[in-house]
Chain A
Amino acid sequence: MKHGRYPFIIGFLIVPVAIYSTFVIAAYVQAFQLSFTNWRGFSPDVSYIGFDNFVKLFQDNTFWKAIQHHILLLIFLPLLTIILALFFAFLLNVGGGSKGGRTQGVWGSKFYRVVFFFPQLLALALVAVIFSRVYSSDDSGLINGLLNQLGVEPVLFLADKNLALWSILAVLVWQAVGFYVVLFSAGMGSIPTEIYEAAALDGATRGTLFFKVTLPLLWNTLQVAWVYLGIAAFDAFALVNVMSVDRGGPDGATTVLGLEIYRNAFDYAQFGYASAMGVVLFFLTITFAALTLRVTKREAIEL
């Protein structure tokens, strides 16, 4: 067994580690380094300017706008998605009442699950293109076309400052719900039916079943869902980049950090500044994930 062990280990690791170090590790390390420079990409002289980029960032209005948008997405994307997904998953799994003493899903639950999940398979960029047409402010849009038939004035979903971000949020929810329906369904499926039966024998209503049995036993899955959706709320780049008016508009009403990083890097060649934003985004994401796991920590219920 000893024979040829180290050559084998090195042989198997060298290519993956090399590729990974070059394109991932080196990139992340350099990002921190660049965030302390004023480098603009083309000039050969790079000087370290300490925390100047960060000071500038904290005085930048657009940055704070983006942060506000992330906070809004961070609250409503997980909340809406999880509530809807839990609701549908519960209906799918125990909506059919009980037969022979065991609760069962509604008729056709498999079909619903297949349909609900499909948007997850579509690229966000593609979804963004579809919905920029759905939201179109004239009669060619799906929603305004329908509203027009009802004689309602067109709604400027993406051009109205107060509506644009909510319209984008709705698309994120539209895409995400199915994934979490499947995830929660799997979790609910692993809850032994005996527990439901026992609770039902004790006269528990569906509401009690849901809040006292399903929810506590699903806690770990919910936690994972919240972290995933939170991380998605820090992204939203594809949707905003494709859907929003003037990329991040109208008047900065939909901009997100990812878009600002992209723009500062590739439109303005502000490499140092863009990297500083990336560093802030990193700390925000990691703080969010750590906080969520901390705050929502509960004793896992062993079955």
Chain B
Amino acid sequence: MTNLMSSDSPAVPPETAPRPGSRHSAAASRDKREIKLFSGFAHVALAIWGLLVIAPLIWVVLASFKSNTEIFTHAPFSLPSQISFETYKTAWTEAHVGRYFLNSVFVVAISTAGTMLLGSMAAYVLARYKFFGNRFIYYLFVSGLAFPVFLALVPLFLILQNLSLLNTYTGLILVYIAYSLPFTVFFMTAFFKTLPNQIAEAAIVDGASHTRLFFQVMLPMAKSGLVSITIFNIVGQWNQYLLPVAIMQGAGAEKKWVLTQGIANISVSAGYQANWAALFAALTLSILPMIIVYAFFQRQIQSGLTAGATK
């Protein structure tokens, strides 16, 4: 909580200027040998873990181009005998990966935008205005961090049922927003508190309303915090599995499923139909966008996701 600005700095150790006056002694050459050995060992250890991380993903991509027989009879990392996108067509149309993917994009786009807007509005007021009940509302939000979602599962189902929001996007989006608010409010409140007062005061003197002050002055100043938490929420909501599984059930729910739910289901049905290649294609289709996004924004994503833990 104390060191806010460090939380959105990149997770790379800061470069310090090379320091003059290093010690050169008789032991230097022995040290050098030891260092080389150690560094060699370090590379081997790191490379092994890197391989363990990448291998299953490469294997998935390779298998997506293989036929079912090839998957069973050929070596795991053998190249497919031919490159055909037939399995991808099956995955996209028959297994509905395309639909699930777009559903996920739709839901997460709206719910993250909603979370950020409502979360920072609440956080801003709680951080910078004194009023009766301020602390109470703040702790009400933050207390949400202490409860496991499983505890709310049954009542949540009933509440949505009563509001006729079960198995609807509106219900899912509202629930995503509601369950993302505790962390968003917690983080953004701390962030807004660090912003300087002078600019806000100057804007008030110039006759800006509170609302204008928030949208045109304070929000732009909070940009780095907003970026971190937006990434945090996008990834969190995109990867959510328990909530959609609990909420998107009932008649015609399959059409509204999000990606995690859809893929998990394809995995089950692929077993019945023995169509593993299509499952691997579906997996590749859902991993690929993550790799592309990650390749461009890996620094922001790393700092966004670790933002919660570095506070």
Contacts and interface: CB of A to CB of B under 8 A. Distances in A.
B238 A123 contact: yes
Main secondary structure on chain A at its contact with chain B?
Answer: helix
Contacts of A278: 148, 150-154
A97 B35 contact: yes
B12 A262 contact: no
A48 interface: no
A174 B51 CA distance: 12
B155 A275 contact: yes
Interface in A122-161: 122-126, 128-134, 138-140, 142, 145-146, 149
Given A88-B45, A116-B49, A125 B13 contact: no
Main secondary structure on chain B at its contact with chain A?
Answer: helix
B272 interface: no
Contacts of B146: 285-286, 289
Contacts of A105: 13
Interface in B268-311: 276, 279-280, 283, 286-287, 290-291, 294, 298, 301-302, 305-306, 309-310
A129 B263 contact: yes
Contacts of A197: 19
Given A13-B137, A183-B309, A5 B174 contact: no
A58 interface: no
Interface in B147-166: 147-148, 150-159
Contact of B154 (A1, A23, A34, A145): A34
B155 A123 contact: no
Interface residues of B, number: 109
A22 B290 contact: no
B152 A8 contact: no
A16 B121 contact: yes
A188 interface: yes
Given A140-B72, A145-B76, A186-B310, A8 B154 contact: no
Contact of A24 (B38, B144, B261): B144
A278 to B, nearest CB: 4
Interface stretch (B79-87, B88-96, B122-130): B122-130
A55 interface: no
Interface stretch (A73-81, A211-219, A234-242, A291-299): A234-242
A92 B38 CA distance: 12
A30 B160 CA distance: 13
A15 interface: yes
Nearest to B179: A24
Interface in B65-84: 71-73, 75-76
B211 interface: yes
B178 A24 contact: yes
Contacts of B179: 23-24
Contacts of A235: 148, 150
A129 B72 contact: no
A206 B132 CA distance: 55
Contacts of A258: 148, 150, 242
Interface in A47-98: 84, 87-88, 91-93, 95-98
A86 B238 CA distance: 28
A119 interface: yes
Contact of B291 (A95, A118, A282): A118
Interface residues of A, number: 117
B267 interface: yes
B159 A146 contact: no
A199 interface: no
Contacts of A301: none
A31 B152 contact: yes
B16 A102 contact: yes
A124 B59 contact: no
A163 interface: no
B102 interface: no
A186 B7 CA distance: 10
A125 B241 contact: yes
A225 B309 CA distance: 8
Contact of B178 (A19, A193, A225): A19
A9 B16 contact: no
A77 B73 CA distance: 35
A16 B144 contact: no
Interface string B24-68: 000000011001101100110110011011111101100100000
A26 B179 CA distance: 12
Contacts of A129: 263-264, 266-267, 279, 283
A132 B147 contact: no
Interface in B198-244: 204, 209-211, 214, 235, 238-242
Contacts of B279: 129, 133
Interface of A: 1, 4-6, 8-9, 11-13, 15-17, 19-31, 34, 84, 87-88, 91-93, 95-102, 105-108, 110, 112-126, 128-134, 138-140, 142, 145-146, 149, 174, 177-179, 182-183, 185-186, 188-190, 193, 197, 201, 206, 221, 224-225, 228, 231, 234-235, 237-238, 241-242, 257-258, 261-262, 265-266, 271, 274-275, 277-279, 281-282, 285-286, 289
30 contacts: A4-B210, A5-B131, A5-B210, A8-B125, A15-B121, A16-B122, A17-B122, A20-B178, A20-B182, A22-B178, A23-B156, A30-B159, A31-B155, A92-B42, A95-B43, A101-B20, A106-B42, A112-B50, A113-B302, A118-B53, A119-B53, A125-B261, A134-B59, A138-B72, A190-B14, A262-B242, A265-B154, A266-B246, A271-B158, A289-B146
Given A8-B210, A31-B155, A107-B39, 11 more contacts: A20-B140, A24-B179, A88-B45, A92-B42, A100-B22, A120-B305, A133-B276, A201-B23, A231-B148, A235-B150, A281-B150
